[in-house]
Amino acid sequence: MEQALALFDAQPPWAQAAIGLAGLALVALLVNFLLKKVILRLAAPFLDTRSKTADKAAARLATVAPLLIVAKGIELVPHLYETVWLLIQNLAQACIVLSVAMAISKALDYVDELYRRRPNAHMRPIKGYVQVLKILVYCAAVILGISALIEQSPLLLLSGLGAMAAVLLLVFKDTILSLVASVQLTSNDMLRVGDWIEMPSMDANGDVVDIALHTVKVQNFDKTITTIPTYKLIADSYKNWRGMSEAGGRRIKRALPLDQNSVRFLSKEEVDDLRRFRLLGDYLADKDSELTAWNARELAGDSNPVNARRITNIGTFRAYVIEYLKAHEELTGQGFTLMVRQLDPTPQGLPLEIYCFTNTTVWAEYERIQADIFDHLIAILPEFGLRLFQQPSGLDLAGLGKVPRRD
């Protein structure tokens, strides 16, 4: 040992400084290797094996030890210019601050990861708050790192930020707006991960897959991703279909355009023929009694049928549709509106609107139920002497130009 020290002392000053720097770097690298390749691997089974961020936070924190060795050991290197070792020491201290900030950032990510494992985490996501904390951590790290480099108090830097307030507000405008919007969305339970939303102004129509500080990601039904600035969800309007999902029923609201020329009174024979419909038995009996009593009371012997109240085919069909919907096992009735109504007549026919709710919110099942209902109603229309209205097709118009042949 004494011979090594004597040999070291015999070297010129520049060589002693180089040997000291090399030895310091070697010790720092050795400590870094032991911490990351040995100790962390031994501790890996005790860390959260399901986490993607816990080991990264530990690795970032392990970087602090070799940097501390450099920051403190640089003073022991002989014949080193003061400006050089001060520069290296300040750089090491700034790197320590950065490593600690990155470790805290990964730790916050781990907290968010643990929170998202909860079954109801999608109802109150904390990712936006975590990102705000990470921004604050990195802002503090920048201030402390700069103060370490220039060897000035952080308070001195903070005092100078007052003059830069306007610039900072401009730089962090989106962050401030997004923070306020994120707090409102979360505290008022306006949006959750998994909600189906429609926002035409942003061309978004799909499920929310991520709620972050600055953006909300929506996976559209065509599997494309729309990114919406968080503050837009407060400034602009959008439709959230969560209420439909929670209620357990999805609305059917579609009209049958009936040809108004096919609307007429039913004859006694046609009424008797319709009695074979099980769903119309009670309606026809009650309606027949009601009209017979009214005609006997109001007409006073007037036998002119034009003055009598009679059953119409459209009214009977409307009653049939109501009973058909009530009896449908895949429609829900408790607490949900079920009705059949006439809308204003239009040049495209007389719309008869069906308004009801299915007992499922699954998209494919909903479309199947809706199609089955209208398949049946369209097919049974001729039984009531009614026709659907539709615009003439090319084939219909082509038939008008045909001149019958004369033999």
Ranges of H-type helices in 10-63? 13-33, 40-43, 54-62
Residue range 139-156, pLDDT digits in tens? 889 888 888 888 787 877
DSSP 77: S
77 torsion bin: left (phi>0), alpha (psi -120 to 50), beta (else):
beta
Co-location of 93 and 157 in the same domain: yes
In the block, residue with structure tokens 């012997």: 301
Co-location of 165 and 25 in the same domain: yes
Residue 282 lies in a domain: yes
- Run of H or E including 331: strand 331-332
Co-location of 367 and 263 in the same domain: yes
Residue at which a domain ends, from 171, 201, 230? 171
Q: What contacts 241, CB < 8 A, 6 or more positions away? A: 195, 196, 197, 198
Residue 400 lies in a domain: no
CB of 138 closer than 8 Å to CB of 105: yes
Residue range 327-383, pLDDT digits in tens? 999 998 778 999 999 999 999 999 999 999 999 999 999 999 999 999 999 999 999
Residue-number span of the structural domain to which 301 is assigned? 250-390
Residue 177 lies in a domain: no
Mean pLDDT value across the chain: 84
For every residue of 255-296, DSSP letters joined together read: EEEE-GGG--BPPHHHHHHHTTSGGGHHHHHHHHHHHHHHHH
Rounded distance between C-alpha atoms, residue 232 and residue 213, angstroms: 12
Residue range 6-49, pLDDT digits in tens? 555 556 666 767 777 787 788 888 888 888 777 777 776 767 76
Residue range 75-87, pLDDT digits in tens? 777 777 777 778 8
> pLDDT band for position 4 (50/70/90)?
low
Co-location of 363 and 377 in the same domain: yes
Residue 367: both structure tokens together? 């479309």
**How would you list the strands of the sheet with 239-240, edge to edge?**
225-229, 215-220, 204-211, 196-199, 239-240
Residue range 246-263, pLDDT digits in tens? 888 999 999 999 999 999
- Greater confidence (403 vs 132) lies with 132
Co-location of 61 and 134 in the same domain: yes
Residue range 268-323, pLDDT digits in tens? 999 999 999 999 999 999 998 988 888 888 776 666 777 788 899 999 999 999 99
Q: Please report the pLDDT score of residue 393 as a whole number.
A: 74
DSSP 265: B
Rounded distance between C-alpha atoms, residue 44 and residue 295, angstroms: 91
**pTM of the model as a whole:** 0.63
Number of domains in the chain: 3
Residue at which a domain ends, from 210, 230, 247? 247
Strands of 190-280, DSSP E: 196-199, 204-211, 215-220, 225-229, 239-240, 250-258
